[in-house]
Structure 1
Amino acid sequence: MKRVALLGMPNTGKSTLFNRLTGSHAKVGNWPGLTVELLNARLIVGDQVVRLVDLPGIYDLNGFSDDERVVTNFLDTQETDLILFVLNTSQYERQLNLLSQVMVKGIPVLLVMNMVDEASAMGITVDVRALSEKLGQPVHLLSAKYGQGMERLLPAIRQVISTCPVNTKTLSLGEIEHAFQTSINVPAQASHALTEKLDAVLLHPIFGLPIFFAVMLLLFEGVFAIGKPLQDSMAWLLNALRTHALDPLCAGLPLMLQGLLLDGLYNGLGTVASFVPLIVLFFLFMGMVEDTGYLSRAAFLMDALMSKFGLDGRSFVMLLMGFGCNVPALMGTRVIRSKGLRYLTMLTIPFSMCSARMQVFVFFIAALFTTEQAPWVLFSLYVMSILMAIFTSLIFKRQYVNNDAFVLEMPPYRFPTLRQMAITSQQEVKHFLNRATRFIVIGVVMIWILTNFPQGISPGSTGTWAGQMGELLQPLLQPIGINAELTIALLFGFIAKEIVIGSLAIIYGQEGSALVHAITEHITWIQAYSFMLFVLIYTPCVSTIATIRNETKSLKFTALSLVWPLCSAWLISFVFYQTATYLQMHLFD
């Protein structure tokens, strides 16, 4: 099978092109260094099938970052029939050095000049035939974002791999630069005028950060304003399904099996499913902000502050990636050359409010806070996650020293297409549901067993196995306001945070609005916020720990990533719970 590799600098639209060609849902983000795994898919080209590999975005084949080594090793060890070199047409100058390094490899190259929509808007024109003749390589113009020119790309690929050309023409960097300069017309006034105007405001040294946090607050406002009615509708639908369909259907089954299927599996999974609309909206809105290029600006804005704590703007980018899932964010640290900075960044990423934690927070916030209060409560947890990352880096920056300069390309602002937004939200929800299938089903069954055995004991009572576990840990967790029921949820949350809400549905024997009512009867808003703080900070899930161990190959560092968050979570929750309880008793009663 022929092998075709996608290669280019970060932020040239490689992943977007990969999605266009294969229909795959590779993660698309408008900042450098996002693709860190060798994504690949089969692609039908004419009468044959080829394997398309999406290589990490890099700046230099002679560099020393993990991504650069991955690309170099791939090209040196894997037989490659064609390289699709993806280049940003409107910013081609700084990409030519990498192109010259690739051409020296002697592998056939098809130069894909992407983002021609932006180039055209700036008045930039390309003489494709002249450029191709001067380079001795085929050249193709397209816009992967809008699909412009895509219909001609597959025939171009087919022609190259069918003729099996031998790349014998080696050009110096100067010759390549001359070929572009004489084949591309760039008007003197060509510029990203909108980007420059927006950056004058959004990158303002004083107002830039307040604007960023205001944008995030508005994002949370939108999630709850639109998502809460959708969540209520989903909960009503699931409750009606059980009442009118599942209960009668299971009426003839043994009581124990009924309990497992309805009170266990259905209640647990149904409660999680009711929050999918909010999760979809969160990632849809977050994806819009991400794809515009604004998060790269956030990294730039935060760099000066992060550097005071031993981190840099790249670390902040990885923290933001962690809001989707900690695992790919941890893998994304491979683009950081400095081992000390990489380890310090990996230590801070698990404090990011990932989608699994988001589900827990949305549930408790919706249950115990008003619609007006909800965005502010969620925003406070968002800020706390960043503060914990900063505090952690402050504590450990002398142990993990950064000796690498911060370099981040600023892409122009781009409004994402509906297709991009749909792919972003679909990918995140798919990932969420895959984890739900993998972890929640097993988790809720285990929790149902623990809350219903030994037989003869009232389900969910202190006499059950789960109740005994909760009571055993009460001396440790009671000072932070976490009762026995919440304790059980925390224990299973170590496996996957997605299990937390499902476990509460089983422990209380309720789902939907009934579960919300049961929660509000048993805990106060102070207990709920203390619990959310603990969930935000405490030990990461099993997948995150496994990734840390795999990326660092260090048992000592993995142990640190377990113990430090757990101790920090207890201390912070203790301070909040005791302080809030004291103030409520002495100032508000």
Structure 2
Amino acid sequence: MKRIAVLGMPNTGKSTFFNRFTGSHAHIGNWPGITVDLMLATVKLGHELAEVVDLPGIYDLRGLSEDEAVVQRFLETTPVHLVLVVLNATQIDRQISLPLQVLQLGVPVVLLLNMVDEAARFGVRVNPEILSDRLGIPVFPISAKYGAGYPKAIEAITEVLDQQDHPIQVNNISQQLPAELPSNRTLQTLLADAVQMPARLSDRWSSRLDRILLHPILGLPIFFSAMYLVFQTIYAMGTPLQASLGDGLEWLKLNALEPLLANFPAFLRGFLIDGVYEGLGTVAAFLPVIFLFFLCMAIVEDSGYLSRSAFLMDALMERLGLDGRSFVMSLMGFGCNVPALLGTRVMRSPGLRMLSMLVIPFSLCSARLNVFIFITSAMFAATIAPTVLFSLYLMSFAAAILTAALFKGKFTTQEPLVLELPPYRLPTLKQILVRAWCEVKHFWIWSRRFIIVGVIAIWLLNNLPTNVPSASSQTLSGLLGQTLQPLFAPLGINAQLTIALFFGFIAKEIVLGGLAVIYSQAAESDLAGTIAQQIDWVQAYSFMLFTLLYIPCLSTIAVLKNEAKSLRFALLSVGWSLGLAWIASFVFYQGARALGF
């Protein structure tokens, strides 16, 4: 199978092209010798299959950031048949140096000039034939967003790939590249007559919107209002879909699964239905809500507003020893903390990276979102639930700010923020749907293995030994809950919730499935009713607060240790998050009780 590497600078639409090129076939894969997982996909080009690898966005093949080092190691350890370089056509004068570097490595290259729709709007004109003659490689203007020029480019990619019988191994990139980039005069000569650019790129709509959205006083209130609107939308649209899916799973259990397993031994039947099916089904019922969350975040990110939020928060972040990139990585952590931690590789300052990695785990990830949506729906009225959920997001920001303020003296940085604000863009429906679908698929595939292991372990603890009542104080889970109760009783967290928290250390996805197993309730409404009878809203909020702040999951801890190259740093993160979670929940619960709630 032939191999294609996709390379480009950040904000060139490289990921949009990769998604269009590969469809929904992309998956995360671990590459030998590479310390970060890469996006991989297999596509059919002509009569043969090709493996496509999406490399991190970089500015310079000789760079010093972790992402640039990842690209260097990949090209030096992995033979490739073809490199696709994706540039932003509106910034070709600043980005042409990257394909020039790739050409010096002696690998076959196809240059894709993306965002030609924006280039035309800005008055940028490119003659691909002239540029192709001067570079000696195929050059194609495309719009990965709308598909313009895409079929012709794929045809040329297929043709070039057919001509490559053997992959090319790159050796020692640093020695093959010159010490300095080509001079401005060299680049101007290369682009003369091939590219016509106005003296100044102007976008009146972006300028007008920025006057409002980046206003020094109104900017932040507008941003947090927009995020609050996202949560309201998730609840308004997601709750009916969630209920319908939950009812469908319950119907499947009653009418198909239970009759099918009726003759199985009681212990095995209980294990399959009350353990595996109920645990997985409870989490699966929330996939529509997760889909809506990623859909909304795709709109925020692809529209260009996410970069603005980094700009808005940079002044505050700087006082905390961070910068706007740290804020963006924290927002990425709303999906999953793991890729957000990997994203800190774009930071060259070790102090900035370490401090950013310390605050990112407090981001309310999608796994915790599952738990909070369920608890808020069970314990609060529909008119109040979105506000409660929004308060948890604010608490995650508060925890991150407190952490940065306390530890900024230990992890110092002098690295300035260089931030490029892209023009505002209206994402296409297909673009955001594919993005949301890929994120949900990755979430489910990633979390499923943890959920299965977790709910099986909880069910066994709930049903062993077999000579005592299930989920009673005599079972292993009951004994575990009683052992930990002195630590959690001051927080208002009962024995059942304590067991769920204990297994949530493995992965937060297990918490909700674990509750379904602990309370032996498959239907979401039955589980919600059972929990609502045992605890009040103060205990529920204390439980959610602890879930928000304590150890994210084993995967996050493993990435922290790997990225920081320090077990001591990982233990610091674990100890601090546990301590902060206990103190915050204790203060809230005891304070609420003192006030008579």
TM-score by length of 2: 0.91
Shift of 1:535: 0.2
Residues 406-455 of structure 1 show CA distances to partners (whole Å, capped at 9, x for unaligned) of 12221111222222212222122212221342011221121111112222
Where does residue 18 of structure 1 map in the other structure? Answer: 18
Does residue 81 of structure 2 align to residue 70 of structure 1?
no
Q: 1:465 to 1:88 in 2, by over 3 A?
A: same
**Mean Cα deviation higher: 442-451 or 43-52:** 43-52
Check the 8 A contact 1:90/1:116 in 2, yes or no: yes
For 1:143 and 1:348, locate their aligned partners in 2 and report how far apart those are by CA, in whole Å: 37
Q: 1:565 — aligned with what?
A: 577
Amino acid across the alignment from 1:232: A
Partner of residue 421, structure 1: 432
Q: Residues of 2 paired with 1:84 and 1:13: CA distance?
A: 13
Separation (CA, whole Å) in 1 of partners of 2:469 and 2:136: 79
Matched-pair contact (CA < 8 Å) for 2:16–2:145 = yes
Distance 1:571 1:36, change over 3 A: same
Q: What SS does structure 2 have at the residue aligned with 1:92?
A: helix
Distance 1:244 1:133, change over 3 A: closer
Q: Distance in 2 between matches of 1:52 and 1:271?
A: 35
Shift of 1:162: 5.3
Distance 2:256 2:49 in 1: 47
Shift of 1:274: 1.8
Corresponding residue to 2:541 among 518, 529, 536: 529
2:342 to 316, 319, 331: 331
Q: Alpha-carbon deviations, 1:153-200, whole Å to 9, x = none? A: 13322444556799x9x9765233233242223356752222221111
Q: Which of 260, 275, 279 does residue 268 from structure 1 map onto?
A: 279
> Following superposition of structure 1 onto structure 2, how do residues 210-229 of structure 1 map, counting pairs within 5 Å?
210-229=221-240
8 Å contact kept, 1:15–1:26:
no
2:85 is paired with a residue whose SS is strand
Indicate the residue corresponding to 1:131 in structure 2. 131
Matches of 1:52 and 1:177, distance apart in 2? 33
Letter in 1 for 2:397: I
Aligned to 2:212: 201
- Matched-pair contact (CA < 8 Å) for 2:26–2:42: no
Percent identity reads: 54
CA distance in 1, matches of 2:106, 2:280: 54
Q: 1:546 aligns with which of 528, 552, 558?
A: 558
Aligned counterparts of 1:269 and 1:84: Cα–Cα separation in 2: 40
Residues 100 and 172 in structure 1, CA contact (< 8 A), matched pair in contact too = no
Could you tell me whether the CA contact under 8 Å between 1:482 and 1:527 is conserved in 2? Answer: yes
Distance (whole Å) between structure 1 residues aligned to residue 184 and residue 198 of structure 2: 23
- Distance in 2 (alpha carbons) for counterparts of 1:301 and 1:27: 33
1:552-580 Cα distance to aligned partner (Å, 9 max, x none): 22111111111110010000000000111
**Alpha carbons 1:15, 1:27 under 8 Å: kept:** no
Structure 2's unaligned 5+ residue stretches are 29-34, 169-175
1:373 equivalent to 2:384? Answer: yes
| Shift in CA distance, 252/113, structure 1 to aligned 2, threshold 3 Å | same
> Is the CA contact (8 Å cut-off) linking 1:100 and 1:176 kept in structure 2?
no
Tell me the equivalent position of 1:55: 55
CA distance in 2 between partners of 1:37 and 1:550 (Å): 13
Q: CA deviation at 1:461?
A: 1.6
1:410 counterpart residue number: 421
Q: Which runs of 5+ in 1 are unaligned?
A: 29-34
Amino acid aligned to 1:521: Q
Q: Are 1:519 and 2:531 matched, yes or no? A: yes
* In 2, Cα distance between equivalents of 1:164 and 1:272: 47
Amino acid at match of 1:294: Y
The equivalent of 1:361 in structure 2 is: 372
- The answer as to whether partners of 2:549 and 2:577 remain within 8 angstroms in 1 is yes
Return the alpha-carbon distance in structure 2 between the equivalents of residues 25 and 312 of structure 1.
Answer: 35
